Amino acid sequence: MFRLPVSFRSLLVFSLLLVTLLPSLALVRMWWRLDQLAQAAETRMGNVDRWQEALRTLSDREEHLERGMRQWLLLKDPALLQLSQGFAAETQPAAETLAQIPDPDMTRLLRDDRARVGLLSSWLNDSSMPSAAHVVAQFDVLTSNHAQMETRLRRQVLIERRQWADSLRQQRIDANRTAILSVLLALFLALALGYALFAPLGKLRARIGRLSLGVRGQSWRVAGPSDVRDLADALARLDQRLEQLESEKASFFRQVSHELKTPLAAISEASALLADEVAGPLSQAQREIVAIQQSNVTTLRSRVETLLKHDVARWLGQQVEFKPFSLQRLLSRRERDWLALIERRHLRIVPQLDVDEVQGDEHKVQTILDNLLINAIRFSPDGGTISLSARRTAGRILIQVADQGPGVSPAEASRIFDPFYTGKPPQGESAGSGIGLTMARTFAQLMGGDVALATKTGPGACFELWWPESGKTS
């Protein structure tokens, strides 16, 4: 498996440096090429200036040489002879500079020019001077050579400028190509490094999502930086711990189920004996009480089978069956089952049902209402009123159960739906199991709704149950 010894932060910093390094190198390369191009242009322009200056110097010295020799031929002054010899010697450096021009015709013209100047110099150093016509003829050829040199030099200047322009154009093409390639390569590296960095996190996120849905025993091994692997190891330990806790919870529910089945069976048998009048005849009121007792024992046994024989995690796996049912008949039935307790506490249930036929899972709605009603009955003061309202709003069914008890303190409001949390019980009663409201909310959420503690201005608590009749949350 691909493992990196560095942390996520170090790898992220390295990735950013690597991605930014490519455009930086491209910029440095472009800067270097532009600097080279500028130096080349400076060199070319310097050569052109030197060549033009050398050609002017050569023309000037040969013109002075011609004038001096003409005067010497007329005056025969030794000073003029010496001056002419100096002009002839001064043409040599200029001719050497012009010889650097990469032009064969220029080289040929310079060779002819040097030969004629050398011939003139030999005449100056020789006592026997040729006729003036010979001297004039040589200078005429030199003048013609200079005109051709100027033409060749202008052509060479144009060539140098054209070459510099071509270099500049090629440099622009190379710069564009380098910029595009560097951006594409940086983008590729960013995507590759991003995948290497965030792919492990995406895998962990998917596995955490499955973990939240109850999938246990997953493989948490991932490739990537060291701290991501440490996180995966911590999640693996959490997975093992959750699996262990669920195993312990299942064992606990099995034990509690076994402990509760025996007394429930005894109560059920005793109720059956009373109903069969084995201990003697019963009055009509006694028969009603025994019927209520048997109904609630049956309900309690069903709850024990649902919650204890199968652990709470199976609530989420139950199927939801949406079908029409009468809400009024369901509430009347539940009120009748709790009638004995209601009459003993001298309570009064005030229904306000604006809807009757609804769509939903009747069994789950019945379980939710039983938990909400038993809470309202337990916490209501003797002689109090329990308000029960139902209405349809925006495709939802909303049921409210409100009592006149002490209400729910702000400290407990955020915890009453937590599994096995029990608040302060009513005076003279023991604490509940702490799973009633948890189960109520779970069943409501399975139907796409929820159970919540509503804001109430007066005394007591008000719980709201809602679910969409379509079975889907909007």
Q: For residue 247, give the CATH number of its domain.
A: 1.10.287
Please tell me whether residues 340 and 422 are part of one structural domain. Answer: yes
- Per-residue model confidence as pLDDT tens digits over 356-414: 899 998 888 988 988 888 888 888 888 889 999 999 998 899 999 999 888 888 878 87
Residues listed for the chain: 474
Write out the DSSP string of 5-69. Answer: SS-HHHHHHHHHHHHHHHHHHHHHHHHHHHHHHHHHHHHHHHHHHHHHHHHHHHHHHHHHHHHHH
Q: Which tens digit of pLDDT belongs to each residue from 292-311? A: 777 777 777 666 665 554 45
Q: Point out the least confidently predicted range of 71-80, 166-175, 437-446.
A: 71-80
Do 312 and 333 share a structural domain? no
> In CATH, what number is assigned to the domain containing residue 139?
1.20.120.1730
* 473, part of any domain: no
Whether 175 has a pLDDT exceeding 80, the answer reads no
Residue 212 lies inside a defined structural domain of this protein = no
State pTM to two decimals. Answer: 0.42
CA atoms within 13 A on the CB side of 235: 25
Identify the CATH number of the domain in which residue 358 sits: 3.30.565.10
> What pLDDT sits at residue 254?
61
- Written as six digits, the tokens of 351 are 């229904």
Are residues 357 and 437 located together in one domain of the fold? yes
Same domain for 329 and 272, yes or no, is: no
Is residue 160 a contact partner of residue 48, using CB atoms and an 8 Å limit? yes
Looking at the domain assignment, is residue 208 inside a domain?
no
Widest distance between CA atoms in the chain: 176
Are 269 and 379 in the same domain?
A: no
pLDDT digits (tens, 9 = 90+) for 58-114: 788 777 777 777 777 777 767 766 776 777 777 788 888 888 888 888 888 878 888
CB neighbours of 17 closer than 8 A, spacing ≥ 6?
none
- Distances in whole angstroms, Cα of residue 97 to Cα of each of 52, 100, 123, 312: 10, 6, 25, 102
Average pLDDT in the chain: 78
Q: Is residue 32 part of a domain?
A: yes
Q: Do 397 and 288 fall within a single domain? A: no
The closest alpha carbon to 386, from 397, 399, 396, belongs to 399
Query: At residue 474, does pLDDT exceed 60?
Result: no
The domain tally of the chain equals 3
What would the mean pLDDT of 216-223 be, rounded to a whole number? 79
Check pLDDT > 50 for residue 313: no
Q: Residue 224: beta bridge partners?
A: 3
Say if 306 falls within a structural domain: yes
Q: Which helix (H) or strand (E) holds 391?
A: strand 385-393
Residue 204, domain member (yes or no): no
Q: Does some domain include residue 210? A: no
Of 284, 317, 350, the position where a domain reaches its end is 317
Are 20 and 119 found together in one domain?
A: yes
Of 197, 216, 238, which one is at a domain's C-terminal end?
A: 197
**Are residues 342 and 309 part of one domain?**
no
Bigger pLDDT: 452 or 216? 452
Provide the domain limits for residue 136. Answer: 8-197
pLDDT score of 251: 64
Of the candidates 88, 106, 184, the one whose C-alpha atom is nearest the C-alpha of residue 148 is: 106
Clarify whether residues 339 and 304 are in a common domain: no
Within a domain: 20: yes
Whether 334 and 271 map to the same domain: the answer is: no
